[in-house]
């Protein structure tokens, strides 16, 4: 990493009301893995979008390989050797791998040649892929491979990766890292965005830290502790959730051989899930995305109905009840997708507070809504969970991901749930907010609520769970006490490397 | 180069401004259209928008505004509930016809009864007629997942054929010298939807339309059901999460829209129109779609939009007779309103930005 590949000088981008990036400068060397760190809303995405040509900076300049670099649009960025793997895959389930890759190319070669190239490149970098498999049948890890191979086919000089490991098992992360290191050794630079500080320490050569749109520091991750990096991001000392040991109470929620078909064509059906959660206990469920998490949450929230006896709440069969009836009993849920599922994007926070809180918080009588009370409920959530927003009349989609997450989790937590089930409660949330949310979950458990946390963040699960299990292809592994589990054991519970071929690097 | 940039929040200002801009744009482009047809554009616009309200014969045209506006508002209110929830009933014209036939049919069956309860019964039967007709696309969608847009639209043509059939057969006036069409309900006192105040244009349909506006306002803004309707339209997945039952909502919204359209048909046939005839329907069911969107799917907006639309109807007729404008030109003019509204609507969610075409 002697020479600089991309140097960023004084990039500034303002949106109405916020300065997303304020005079940010840093350099990425040739063959360097550079981490971009920061809380949510710190401006990482905006910065990356400017590099990839999706957003135009208001001021500042970029120099790529010694030449001025002003990407007007992503296709131009790609031509100049900048490729990006997004956090959310942009693949079509119904098409096969080669077709998906061809769709993302400017001048796709003939399908036959392309398939050959895909095989060649994917094997070279230890990411074996069958070009003719349908994407809908691939695991999350394999889908990511498709995205990465799509980038590699363009021979990039700079590869941007946005939170790539959030969908992978530890074993799959291992494979990915070997690929990235091979790329680095060949001289490709990588800009790596992640919240997982230990990963950054293992992989990255340098790091730039953003806070509130400004660069607040740089560090060499290998020589710094994760805690020190986290504190640089947050700008204050980090608060680790605390909990007291207690004896679990009576069984509140029991699943008895819960089997339901997924409503989506490429979803995962649940197969014979049996578990119990007791009052005051946190059950952590790990699993790679797409292994039945959404379906499990749906089956618990009442969006997916099952045979009545398959879900029991305090001994009462509730499998056939809809969401409202379950909420009335005290079974509350928080889905993974914030916008469009947990919250209506164009509705105000007050209206979104009403979305699940109408009944338990007494926000209506005889079907007539009490807007004043709904508004003060929204304000309460905003205040207690430090949701940063001008007020409750703001539309949900105007909030940053982390802030909206605080709001939708807070909305459930503040309804005094008997059983709370949350899916990815801190997904895409900054360290400080994640700590707030985890603490709130632990406080609920301490108060006697039975909690199920479904998450892909293993550190999070180990931190807050009493017992631990993993979902794999719609089945649940054995449930084991969380204490003393090793990463290897957890990885195997999650399905190991899903039979993905290990890199031949 | 102009570029669209998504707003972080829908703009309140544009939500209210868009209909006004759309009306102005329609006047400008419509004026051009009239100019190309060889008519004086200013005079045409004046004839359409000004004369019915303030012209020489305004005393006659003003009540007509209520007569024409009431069915539009009544139907549009019903449609707007479904549209808000993403349920696209565009067959209100058929529901309007079936409501009129059902209600008038009841009256004619009892002819020449004199009883105070006949008219209320007709209103109820009119509503039921429209409701049942709307239940066909609703049930098909709920049970088989068919597309309610197609089914409800196709059923309009079925209803038109049915209307022709009853005007020539079942409901034909036995004393009508063989001409198609039913007895004139205007000459049937207990069935006549007469003006409540002579010369005002005010009949029971106008009253019903106003009540519908108020009820819809309360429903949408104060009641859980209205909240669920809006939620379903904005975020269907979030609605299911909140506990909305999508199938019930489809039946409810379609049913309400059908019932209101049916009532509108009954009020028309028992009042201003008077009889069931082959060409009894005047396209209110389709125009109401424009009214619903022009009024932002908001009850008060729909009331205003209904009156505006009624104005273009009346003004259009005046322009036809006094200036010799063709009726198709007037229809194009009305269609432009929706077209421009949808166009301007983009600005509610996006802002126009002047992007320099550098660095290409």
Contact A398 B224 (CB under 8 A): no
CB atoms inside a 10 Å sphere around CB A367: 13
CA B143 from chain centre, in angstroms, equals 28
Point out the residue among A15, A16, A355 whose CB comes nearest to the CB of B238: A355
Contact B10 A346 (CB under 8 A): yes
* Residue with token string 């006036």: B173
Say if CB A505 and CB A182 are below 8 A apart.
Answer: yes
Contact B235 A343 (CB under 8 A): yes
Give the chain B residue nearest A323 (alpha carbons). B243
Judge residue B43's burial from the number of C-beta atoms within 10 Å of its C-beta, 0-12 exposed, 13-18 middle, 19 or more buried: middle
Give the chain A residue nearest B230 (alpha carbons). A347
A342 touching B, CB under 8 A?
yes
CB pairs under 8 A between A and B: 79
| Beta-sheet pairing, A158-162 with A82-85 | parallel
Residue A419 — φ and ψ, nearest 5°?
Answer: -130, 130
The rounded distance, in Å, linking the Cα atoms of A364 and A289 is 37
Say if CB A283 and CB A275 are below 8 A apart.
Answer: yes
B238 touching A, CB under 8 A?
yes
Could you give the residue ranges of the DSSP H alpha helices within A211-363? 226-234, 293-301, 323-329, 349-357
Q: C-alpha distances in angstroms, B271 versus A76, A293, A387, B194, B263? A: 67, 60, 58, 6, 12
Say if CB A183 and CB A69 are below 8 A apart.
Answer: no
Per CB-CB distance under 8 Å, the chain B contacts of A347 are 230-231, 234-235
Measure the CA angle with vertex A113, ends A109 and A114; round to 5°.
Answer: 65
Contact B241 A337 (CB under 8 A): no
A13 touching B, CB under 8 A?
no
* Residue with token string 């059983």: A419
**Fold (topology level) of B40-324:** ABC transporter involved in vitamin B12 uptake, BtuC (1.10.3470)
Contact A341 B223 (CB under 8 A): no
> Residues 377-406, chain A: which have Cβ within 8 Å of B?
394-395, 397-398
Q: Pick from A384, A407, A385: which is nearest to A394 by CA? A: A407
pLDDT at B7 over 80: no
Q: Pick from A116, A107, A56, A51: which is nearest to A83 by CA? A: A51
* Secondary structure E strands in chain B: 2-6, 350-354
Contact A346 B227 (CB under 8 A): no
Give the chain A residue nearest B228 (alpha carbons). A355
The rounded distance, in Å, linking the Cα atoms of A336 and A324 is 19
pLDDT of A496 = 59
Say if CB B293 and CB B342 are below 8 A apart.
Answer: yes
Contact A345 B242 (CB under 8 A): no
Give the chain B residue nearest A15 (alpha carbons). B8
A15 touching B, CB under 8 A?
yes
Could you give the residue ranges of the DSSP H alpha helices within A270-400? 293-301, 323-329, 349-357, 371-384
Per CB-CB distance under 8 Å, the chain A contacts of B247 are none
Q: C-alpha distances in angstroms, A342 versus A201, A412, B236, B243? A: 34, 10, 11, 12
* Rg of chain B, C-alpha, whole Å: 22
Q: Do domains A4-234 and A251-493 have the same CATH topology?
A: yes
Write out pLDDT tens, residues B279-302.
888 889 999 998 999 888 999 999
Contact B234 A345 (CB under 8 A): yes
The rounded distance, in Å, linking the Cα atoms of A209 and A190 is 16
Contacts of A368 (CB under 8 A, 6+ apart): B222, B223, B224
Per CB-CB distance under 8 Å, the chain B contacts of A395 are 8-10
Write out pLDDT tens, residues A172-221.
888 889 989 999 999 999 999 887 777 888 889 999 988 888 888 888 98
Per CB-CB distance under 8 Å, the chain A contacts of B238 are 340-344, 355
Q: What number is the average pLDDT over the span B236-253?
A: 94
Say if CB B248 and CB B59 are below 8 A apart.
Answer: no
The rounded distance, in Å, linking the Cα atoms of A418 and A450 is 6
Say if CB B137 and CB B258 are below 8 A apart.
Answer: no
pLDDT of B103 = 95
pLDDT of A239 = 58
pLDDT of B357 = 47
Sign of the CA dihedral running B138, B141, B144, B150: positive
Beta-bridge partner residues of B2: B354
CB atoms inside a 10 Å sphere around CB A203: 22
Sign of the CA dihedral running A19, A24, A29, A35: negative
Per CB-CB distance under 8 Å, the chain A contacts of B240 are 303, 323
pLDDT of B358 = 44
> Residues 243-272, chain B: which have Cβ within 8 Å of A?
243, 245
Contact A364 B224 (CB under 8 A): yes
Per CB-CB distance under 8 Å, the chain B contacts of A421 are none
* Residue with token string 């790609």: A78
pLDDT of A16 = 67
B360 touching A, CB under 8 A?
yes
Per CB-CB distance under 8 Å, the chain A contacts of B14 are none
The rounded distance, in Å, linking the Cα atoms of A405 and A387 is 9
pLDDT of B326 = 87
Contact A368 B223 (CB under 8 A): yes
Q: Pick from A341, A337, A344: which is nearest to A289 by CA? A: A337
Q: What number is the average pLDDT over the span B172-199?
A: 87
> Residues 47-66, chain A: which have Cβ within 8 Å of B?
56
**Fold (topology level) of A251-493:** Rossmann fold (3.40.50)
pLDDT of B323 = 87
Contact A369 B360 (CB under 8 A): no
A220 touching B, CB under 8 A?
no
- Ranges of chain A whose pLDDT falls below 70: 1-2, 16-17, 40-41, 236-246, 495-505
| Confidence label for B347 from pLDDT (cuts 50, 70 and 90) | confident
The rounded distance, in Å, linking the Cα atoms of B36 and B340 is 20
**Consecutive H or E run containing A441:** helix A431-446
| Beta-sheet pairing, A158-162 with A189-193 | parallel
ipTM: 0.83
The rounded distance, in Å, linking the Cα atoms of A336 and A415 is 19
The rounded distance, in Å, linking the Cα atoms of A290 and A147 is 17
Beta-bridge partner residues of A170: none
The rounded distance, in Å, linking the Cα atoms of A398 and B9 is 6
Per CB-CB distance under 8 Å, the chain A contacts of B348 are none
**Consecutive H or E run containing B340:** helix B327-349
B3 touching A, CB under 8 A?
no
Interface test with B, best of A344, A349, A366, A369 (most B CBs within 10 A): A344
Say if CB B224 and CB B77 are below 8 A apart.
Answer: no
Per CB-CB distance under 8 Å, the chain B contacts of A323 are 240-243
Return the SS3 of A241.
Answer: coil
Q: What number is the average pLDDT over the span B93-102?
A: 97
The rounded distance, in Å, linking the Cα atoms of A268 and A299 is 12
B353 touching A, CB under 8 A?
no
The rounded distance, in Å, linking the Cα atoms of A350 and A377 is 8
Q: State how far residue A362 is from chain B, nearest Cα, in angstroms.
A: 12
The rounded distance, in Å, linking the Cα atoms of B74 and B257 is 9
Say if CB A246 and CB A445 are below 8 A apart.
Answer: no
Return the SS3 of A211.
Answer: strand
Contacts of B8 (CB under 8 A, 6+ apart): A15, A16, A17, A395, A397, A398
DSSP letter for A247, please: -
Tokens at A501, concatenated: 């071929």
pLDDT of A137 = 80
Beta-bridge partner residues of A38: A210
Q: C-alpha distances in angstroms, A405 versus A84, A215, A341, B194? A: 25, 25, 12, 59
Contact A369 B222 (CB under 8 A): yes
Say if CB B244 and CB B228 are below 8 A apart.
Answer: yes
Write out pLDDT tens, residues A423-437.
999 877 777 788 889
Helix then strand then coil, % of chain B, to nearest 5: 70, 5, 25
Sign of the CA dihedral running A175, A176, A179, A180: negative
Q: State how far residue B21 is from chain A, nearest Cα, in angstroms.
A: 23
Write out pLDDT tens, residues A255-284.
999 999 988 777 789 999 999 999 999 999
Give the chain A residue nearest B8 (alpha carbons). A398
Domain boundaries, chain B: 40-324
The rounded distance, in Å, linking the Cα atoms of A32 and A191 is 8
B234 touching A, CB under 8 A?
yes
A370 touching B, CB under 8 A?
no
For helices A170-185 and A140-152, what crossing angle results, to 10°? 10
Tokens at A75, concatenated: 């296709």
Sign of the CA dihedral running A364, A370, A373, A375: positive
Helix then strand then coil, % of chain A, to nearest 5: 35, 25, 40
Q: State how far residue B239 is from chain A, nearest Cα, in angstroms.
A: 8
> Residues 294-313, chain A: which have Cβ within 8 Å of B?
301-303
pLDDT at B113 over 80: yes
pLDDT of A247 = 74
pLDDT of A497 = 56
Contact A369 B241 (CB under 8 A): no
> Residues 272-331, chain B: which have Cβ within 8 Å of A?
none
CATH classification code of A4-234: 3.40.50.300
- Residue B112: cis peptide before it, omega within 30 degrees of 0: yes
Sign of the CA dihedral running A129, A134, A135, A137: negative
| Confidence label for B359 from pLDDT (cuts 50, 70 and 90) | very low
Domain boundaries, chain A: 4-234, 251-493
pLDDT of A171 = 81
Beta-bridge partner residues of A332: A420
The rounded distance, in Å, linking the Cα atoms of A409 and A352 is 12
Per CB-CB distance under 8 Å, the chain A contacts of B225 are 367
pLDDT of A41 = 66
The rounded distance, in Å, linking the Cα atoms of B59 and A154 is 75
pLDDT of A500 = 56
The rounded distance, in Å, linking the Cα atoms of B308 and B295 is 10
Beta-bridge partner residues of A206: A34
pLDDT at B84 over 80: yes
CA B214 from chain centre, in angstroms, equals 17
pLDDT of A237 = 60
pLDDT of B267 = 96
Write down the mean pLDDT value for chain B: 90
């Amino acid at each position: 990493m002697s020479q600089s590949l991309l140097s960023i000088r004084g990039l500034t981008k303002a949106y109405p009301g916020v300065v997303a990036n304020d005079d940010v400068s840093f350099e990425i060397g040739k063959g360097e893995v550079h981490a971009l760190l920061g809380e949510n809303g710190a401006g990482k995405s905006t910065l990356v979008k400017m590099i990839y040509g999706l957003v135009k900076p208001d001021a500042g300049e970029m120099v790529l390989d010694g030449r001025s670099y002003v990407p007007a649009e992503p296709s131009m960025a790609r031509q100049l050797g900048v490729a990006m793997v997004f956090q959310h895959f942009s693949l079509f389930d119904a098409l096969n791998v080669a077709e998906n890759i061809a769709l993302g190319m400017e001048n796709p070669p003939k399908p036959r040649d392309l398939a050959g190239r895909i095989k060649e490149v994917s094997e070279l970098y230890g990411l074996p892929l069958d070009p003719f498999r349908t994407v809908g049948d691939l695991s999350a890890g394999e889908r990511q491979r498709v995205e990465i191979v799509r980038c590699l086919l363009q021979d990039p000089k700079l590869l941007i990766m946005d939170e790539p490991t959030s969908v992978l098992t530890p074993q799959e992360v291992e494979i990915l890292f070997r690929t990235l290191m091979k790329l680095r050794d060949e001289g490709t630079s990588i800009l790596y965005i992640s919240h997982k500080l230990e990963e950054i320490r293992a992989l990255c050569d340098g790091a730039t830290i953003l806070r509130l749109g400004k660069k607040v520091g740089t560090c060499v991750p290998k020589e710094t502790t994760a805690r020190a990096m986290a504190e640089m991001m947050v700008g204050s000392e980090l608060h680790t959730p605390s909990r007291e040991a207690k004896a679990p109470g009576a069984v509140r929620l029991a699943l008895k051989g819960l089997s339901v078909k997924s409503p989506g064509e490429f979803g995962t059906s649940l197969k014979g899930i049996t578990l119990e959660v007791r009052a005051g206990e946190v059950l952590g469920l790990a699993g790679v995305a797409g292994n039945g998490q959404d379906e499990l949450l749906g089956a618990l929230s009442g969006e997916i109905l099952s045979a009545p006896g398959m879900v029991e709440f305090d001994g009462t069969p509730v499998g056939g009840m809809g969401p409202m009836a379950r909420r009335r009993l005290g079974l509350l849920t928080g889905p993974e997708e914030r916008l469009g599922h947990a919250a209506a994007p164009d509705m105000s926070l007050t209206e979104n507070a009403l979305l699940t809180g109408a009944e338990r918080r007494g926000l209506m009588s005889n079907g007539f809504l009490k807007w004043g009370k709904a508004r003060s409920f929204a304000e309460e959530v905003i205040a207690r969970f430090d949701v940063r927003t001008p007020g409750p009349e703001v539309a949900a989609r105007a909030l940053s991901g982390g802030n909206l997450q605080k709001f939708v989790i807070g909305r459930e937590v503040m309804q005094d749930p008997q059983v709370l089930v949350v899916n990815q409660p801190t997904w895409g949330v900054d360290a400080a907010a994640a700590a707030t949310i985890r603490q709130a979950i632990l406080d609920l458990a301490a108060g006697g609520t039975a909690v199920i946390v479904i998450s892909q963040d293993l550190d999070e699960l180990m931190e807050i769970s009493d017992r631990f299990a993993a979902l794999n292809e719609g089945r649940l592994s054995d449930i084991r006490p969380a204490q003393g589990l090793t990463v290897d054991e957890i990885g195997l519970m999650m399905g190991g490397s899903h039979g993905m071929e290990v890199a031949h690097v | 180069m102009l570029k669209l940039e998504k707003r972080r929040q829908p703009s309140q200002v544009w939500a209210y401004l868009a209909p006004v801009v759309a009306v102005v744009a329609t006047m400008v482009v419509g004026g051009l259209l009239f100019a190309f047809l060889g008519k004086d554009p200013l005079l045409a616009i004046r004839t359409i928008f000004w004369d019915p309200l303030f012209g020489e014969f305004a005393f006659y045209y003003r009540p007509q505004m209520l007569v024409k506006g009431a069915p539009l508002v009544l139907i549009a209110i019903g449609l707007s509930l479904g549209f808000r929830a993403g349920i696209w009933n565009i067959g209100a014209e058929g529901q309007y016809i079936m409501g009129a036939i059902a209600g008038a049919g009841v009256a004619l069956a009892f002819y020449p009864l004199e009883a105070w309860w006949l008219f209320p019964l007709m209103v109820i039967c009119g509503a039921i007629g429209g409701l049942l007709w709307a239940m066909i696309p609703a049930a098909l969608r709920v049970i088989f997942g068919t597309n309610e847009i197609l089914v409800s639209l196709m059923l309009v043509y079925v209803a038109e054929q049915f209307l022709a059939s009853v005007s020539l057969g079942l409901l034909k006036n036995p004393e009508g010298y063989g001409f198609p069409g039913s007895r004139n309900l205007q000459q049937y006192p207990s069935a006549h939807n007469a003006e409540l105040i002579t010369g005002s244009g005010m009949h029971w349909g106008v009253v019903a339309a106003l009540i519908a506006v108020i009820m819809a306002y309360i429903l949408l803004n104060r009641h859980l059901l209205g909240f669920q309707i809006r939620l379903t339209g904005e975020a269907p997945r979030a609605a299911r999460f909140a506990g909305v039952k999508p199938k019930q909502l489809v039946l409810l919204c379609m049913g309400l829209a059908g019932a209101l359209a049916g009532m509108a048909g009954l009020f028309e046939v028992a009042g201003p129109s008077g009889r069931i005839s082959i060409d009894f329907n005047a396209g209110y069911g389709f125009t109401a779609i424009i009214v619903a969107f022009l009024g932002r799917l908001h009850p008060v907006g729909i009331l205003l939009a209904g009156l505006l639309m009624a104005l273009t109807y009346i003004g259009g007729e005046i322009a036809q007779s006094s200036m010799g404008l063709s009726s198709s030109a007037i229809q194009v003019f009305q269609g432009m309103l929706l077209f421009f509204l949808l166009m301007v609507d983009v600005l509610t969610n996006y802002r126009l930005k002047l992007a320099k075409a550098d660095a290409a």
